[in-house]
Amino acid sequence: MTPTVADLAAMRRALELADDAAADGDVPVGAVVVDATGRIVGEGRNLREVTGDPTAHAEVVALREAARTLGSWHLADCTLVVTLEPCVMCAGAILQARVDRVVFGSWDAKAGAAGSLYDVLRDRRLPHRVEVVGGVEEEQAAARLRGFFEQRR
């Protein structure tokens, strides 16, 4: 699948949110949820270090905000755009929210659950499947992660 113009715009915002996460000492991952019109209805960035919450991944934070904005946990017709391939926990949250599409930047060979290590989002054994578009602005997303971890070594 090819990303849409709206996907690219949302990814630019997610990359900005990733930079905000890094500024707070957290892994630079940002996410936005957009509705069918392309309007951002939820934003998130990794907040684990800020909040001490192990579930405060960018995707979960964005999904929670989108649910509040829309007044429903049911996020059908929404797209989640995130700078890093979702992990198993986030993939589960995406499925539970019934998100239709996920667009992500960098692949995660160590923990990815959208096609690299696992493919939870498209597992035919589960009651909901998600359209996945990976590798969008991949180099920009990967560069942020590389830089962050190089500083910590």
59 is catalytic: yes
User: Look-up: residue for tokens 């930047």?
Assistant: 105
* Euclidean distance between CA atoms 8 and 46, whole angstroms: 20
Q: Where are the beta strands (DSSP E) in the chain?
A: 30-34, 40-45, 79-84, 101-106, 131-133
What the block records as the tokens of 151 is 């500083």
Select which of 43, 59, 65, 137 is catalytic.
59
- How far is Cα 34 from Cα 32, in angstroms, rounded to an integer? 6
Name beta bridge partners: 40.
34
Positions annotated as catalytic residues are 59
